[in-house]
Amino acid sequence: MLPIERRNKIIELLQEEKKVVVTSLSSLFGVTEETIRRDLEKLEKEGIATKTYGGAVLNEDLRLELPYKVRKGRNATGKQIIGKTISSFINDGDHIMLDGSSTALYIAKNLKDKKNLTIITNSIEILLELSDVTGWNVLSTGGILKEGALALVGYQAERMIQSYNVDKAIISCKGIDIEKGITDSNELDSHIKKLMIDAAKTRILAVDSTKFEKVSFTKIVDYSKIDVLVTDHELNDDWKQALDNYEIEVIEGKQN
């Protein structure tokens, strides 16, 4: 296992357990404790973890942006369910905006049987994923490549999004909370998502089960700006009532 792969695994463990222990990680990965300490030092410098005696704890700064490869692998089953669910109500010929989230990549993967779609996205990975699809119009927003992510942001991306009107915009988020709303960790990403929502007739929020009851740094849009919420699990009564108050259609995907 490469060092970067090991550190990404450590980040996943931190996300799940909130803390890690050097001795346990050494045994798990078959490397020395000194190697693990160096890994934790690097994660501390990146702002992801805080070293403690014998291990480290997760830095839960609301502005923290996890590496894209880590986000892509988190709850992959849930994101696949969301992708399949959303594909069922995308029509041939639709014009769609997809954000740079890892969830949007799973959605793009599940649209390949559709015909004559127009996709506008700020995701480099989606552009690569759809590069072999024929008969579609795939448009990049252009813009600045955001550090540590495969997404384009900035003035050029924003201007391009504002110049189009589409049938559907599909975005995800870092956190969703009944009181605090729909949030993200980065203002540049958040603004891109907001502009996509503003450009669409039907506004779809795709959010897997790991994002609920979480609050991140900056608000994306109000609930009133969302028409449909697609998730991979059954919501409890509090959530159903809250979303019904905003007349948001809830679609709960099921695993086949």
Q: How far, in Å, CA of 210 to CA of 233, rounded?
A: 10
Report which secondary-structure segment, H or E, holds 216: none
Tokens representing 184? Answer: 């993200």
**Among the ranges given (60-69, 77-86, 219-228, 242-251), the one the predictor scored with the smallest mean pLDDT:** 60-69
Q: Write down the pLDDT at residue 60.
A: 66
Q: How far, in Å, CA of 245 to CA of 21, rounded?
A: 45
Q: Write down the pLDDT at residue 64.
A: 57
40-43-48 Cα angle (round to 5): 125
Q: Where in the chain is the domain with CATH 3.40.50.1360?
A: 69-252
Convert the pLDDT of each residue in 16-53 to its tens digit.
Answer: 788 999 999 999 999 999 999 999 998 888 777 889 99
Q: Write down the pLDDT at residue 31.
A: 94
Name the architecture of domain 69-252.
3-Layer(aba) Sandwich (3.40)
What kind of fold does domain 3-60 have according to CATH? Arc Repressor Mutant, subunit A (1.10.10)
Q: Where in the chain is the domain with CATH 1.10.10.10?
A: 3-60
